[in-house]
Amino acid sequence: MDHAFDIKELKALKVELTRFMMAYKFALDEMNTKINILKDEFNYIHEYNPIEHVTSRLKSPEAYIKRCTEKATNFHCLR
């Protein structure tokens, strides 16, 4: 029965991690949109752009899990 409990925990962790990654991605998308609007505004109004380019990245779930295991003994650091 312990094995079934472990599978349930893993499924719950997967759901939690997926929600975390989605929220993180949406926040990055929102920030990129706002910065792109500022870039366009500067181009149209001021005829120059102080923002040369913007990049963003979303780390893999494996990178977050690795970081958690380095910093803590459980996965509660994802919250």
Average model confidence (pLDDT) across the chain: 83
pTM exceeding 0.75 = no
Angle at 35 between CA 65 and CA 54, to 5 degrees: 60
Angle at 45 between CA 43 and CA 49, to 5 degrees: 30
If one counts every other C-beta atom within 10 angstroms of the C-beta of residue 13, the result is 13
Give the residue from 53, 56, 24, 25 showing the smallest Cα distance to 38: 53
Residue 78: strand, helix, or coil: helix
Domain ranges of the chain: 2-78
Distance separating alpha carbons of residues 46 and 49, to the nearest angstrom: 8
Structure confidence by residue, pLDDT tens digits, 11-51 = 888 888 889 899 999 999 999 999 999 999 999 998 888 88
